[in-house]
Amino acid sequence: MQLTELLAPERVRVPLRSRAKDDLLRELVELAAGSRGQDVVEALLRSVRDREAVLSTGIGEGVAIPHGRTPMLDSLVVAAGVCESPVEFSSLDGRPVELCFLLVGPESAAGAHVKALGRISRLLYRAPLRDALKQCASPEEFLELVRTSEAA
């Protein structure tokens, strides 16, 4: 599974405008939900918030990978973006977040969900890619960097 299979230009925002963690989660969830409706947005947001209550998904190095599952989706969806200003996220290393990848999907796809999380984590482990993504000026540039990195 390639990350670019789960990510589309309309679900990438450069820059993300939110300045607080909960606002950032909502902004990403709304991107992921697309035209699915407010009930899906609220279900996704509840799922992502519940996961954040267990342990922050701010993994360090200015990166967060919030995620959640709901029966209201039938496939995995990724939304991503670069924060206009760093956002306090209770990250594991204490640093604010600048780069976010949100992963949401159906409860029935637990295995694929874990594989996708691993894929995102491995990709973002590369400091040069993280730095380049943070400098992107458009969703297309962001996606092209992800695509190129996955092909390498």
Tell me, what amino acid is at 77?
V
Residue with tokens 């760093």: 86
Query: Is 67 among the catalytic positions?
Result: yes
Nearest to 66 by CA among 31, 25, 112: 25
Q: In this structure, what DSSP letter does residue 17 have?
A: -
Bridge partners of 119? Answer: none
DSSP-assigned letters across all residues of 62-113:
TEE--EEE-TT-SS-EEEEEEEEEEE----TTSPPEEEEEEEEE-GGGHHHH
Residue with tokens 């670069």: 82
Q: Which of 67, 69, 113, 119 is catalytic?
A: 67
Q: Which residues are catalytic?
A: 67
